[in-house]
Amino acid sequence: MTVDLLRAQYEAYPYPARDPRDEDRRLITGSPSQLDQLNHYVFGGRLDFSASFRVLVAGGGTGDAAIMLGHQLCAAGVPAHITYLDLSEPSKRIAEARAARRGLTNIEFRTGSLLDAGRLGPFDYIDCCGVIHHLADPAAGLSALGSALAPGGGIGLMVYAPYGRAGVYPMQDALRTLTAGLPPAEQIEAARRVLRALPEQNGLRNNPLLTDHLTSDAGLYDLLLHSCDRAYTVPALAALATRCDLAITALIEPAQYDPASYVRDPKTLRRLDGLSWLERAAWAEQVGGALGKHIAYLVRPESAERAVARVEGLAAVPVLRDINGPELARGMRPGAVLDSAFPGLTLALPLPRLAGPILARADGRASFAEIFEAVRTLDRGLSAEQFSVQARALFEGLNRIGKMYLRIPG
């Protein structure tokens, strides 16, 4: 696919469809690039929130990542500069209007190709969500982003995955034959006629995980009429990263890539013990069958060892995401479980005995050590070692479902 074709598509149908007026009532958040998440998986939880921070949003579309990052960095008081980059002028105008609606002044909007990222850097962090898989040469695109990284920096990447997109690629081929040479609006009309007449056994019709084509013309065009769209298995994504001199530090959310999330049989799981974490993730992807995208964090190989935050002692500050610790802790009894749902996967997470007292005090500022001192006033016989076991168990459980990250004081 040529750059001109890519630009033409997103100028005709900016994606995803967004109305700047909606910024008055909600902030769209997600992964990659939620601030505490990227800190945890790229900077080992050690991001200095008082230091300057340069970000590139490569292929920014209608602005979801740029607006989310701009808002969160501003709220955290980080002196950040975000460069938004996209081929499509109409998409850029929508993103600019969203930023203006929020009063964000930490985003610079530019029109251009991510292949030119090296001339704009260096950047501490790069967001590239849903773009690499649309390039004629994905490796060239990812290498260009890697060349723009500052030392110790990282990339938040999203690419499509094949199994959760069952039915998409045969339908793309069929519609490509049907709509060749038609202008975009007529392609949409032709596609909708076909979708209304799909037989019961059609793979797309039977895939409940796919809804983009039902929500907007832009979503339909991006899902089914895109002229360049490839999907990556975990091994293929890992190979792409290696080819571009990058290493994957995490796949989001970890529970979706854990064989134990899908298979409870101990004998089966023991057979997988010798596999690397990426090999185990590949196995989980095959068995789960519902992953339609991979969200990954990548760094230079020399930075990989320190990229992911870990509980070492009690100095770390636990940070919750999308859950209210005190509210969840209220009335929680020992033996409680936390339900969590992902596409094609529902998990019941057992919580350790001290989950309630810890969550009640996890405000994003208190360290585990400070929480221990507070909890010990309720349980005089509690030792630091006993608390550490409980805190680690809670962190490991919540982290694997994307609900807790760490900040490590510097």
**CA–CA gap between residue 150 and residue 81 (Å, rounded):** 14
State pLDDT tens for residues 3-34. 777 888 888 889 999 999 999 999 999 999 99
State pLDDT tens for residues 261-300. 999 999 999 999 999 999 999 999 999 999 999 999 999 9
Peptide bond into 32 cis (omega under 30): yes
Count CB neighbours of 203 within 10 A. 15
Burial label, 176 (beta-carbon count in 10 A; 0-12, 13-18, 19+) = middle
**CA–CA gap between residue 310 and residue 307 (Å, rounded):** 10
State pLDDT tens for residues 201-230. 999 999 999 999 999 999 999 999 998 899
CA angle, 256 as apex, 253 and 262 as ends, to 5°?
160
Q: What is the pTM of this model?
A: 0.95
pLDDT of 1 higher than 70: no
Give SS3 for 170: helix
Cβ–Cβ under 8 Å, residues 47 and 10: no
Cβ–Cβ under 8 Å, residues 130 and 158: yes
**CA–CA gap between residue 22 and residue 96 (Å, rounded):** 14
State pLDDT tens for residues 152-209. 999 999 999 999 999 999 999 999 999 999 999 999 999 999 999 999 999 999 999 9
User: Which strand (E) or helix (H) includes residue 247?
Assistant: strand 247-252
Note the pLDDT of residue 2.
Answer: 62
